[in-house]
Amino acid sequence: MCKCIYCAASSGFIGRVCADCKKLLARVQELRGKVSFGQFLDGLEQTGVPRDKILRFLTADPDGKGSIQDQVTAEMTSELMKVMGISGRQSADEVKRIRDTLAKESE
């Protein structure tokens, strides 16, 4: 049996992503760029997938390109900066770096 690349649950014989995470991925594509982060999380919960699984899904980084949470946060930050007239893009890496820095400073 294969394991899901996001939540490590069994994903069946062929899939790399389990049924729940497939549902979440589809919802992410629907919601990203359109809603606030709170609405985004609500939208994911509406799929009926348990919250702890959603959190595991959001923080997984199967491709090494940053977790879904970091990617979505980066997109939202870039959007906000555009609205405020600040040029430049936040990458998922950048968000991660900022968060790590904040975490270190609050220690």
Residues in the interface with Zn ion (CB under 5 A) total: 6
Residue from 12, 14, 18, 49 touching Zn ion (CB under 5 A): that is 18
Rg (the chain; Cα; Å) = 15
Contacting Zn ion within 21-60 (CB under 5 A): 21
Per-residue tokens: 4: 């899901």
Residue 6 binds Zn ion (CB under 5 A): yes
Q: Annotate 17-50 with b (16+ C-beta within 10 A) or e (fewer).
A: bbebbebbeebbeebeeeeeeeebbebbeeeebe
Task: Figure out which of the listed residues 1, 2, 3, 7 binds Zn ion, where binding follows CB under 5 A.
Answer: 7
**Closest approach of Cβ 62 to Zn ion, in Å?**
10
Dist CA 64 CA 66 (whole Å): 6
Stretch touching Zn ion by CB under 5 A, among 13-21, 41-49, 74-82, 99-107: 13-21
Number of H helices, E strands in the chain: 5, 0
Binding site for Zn ion (CB under 5 A): 4, 6-7, 9, 18, 21
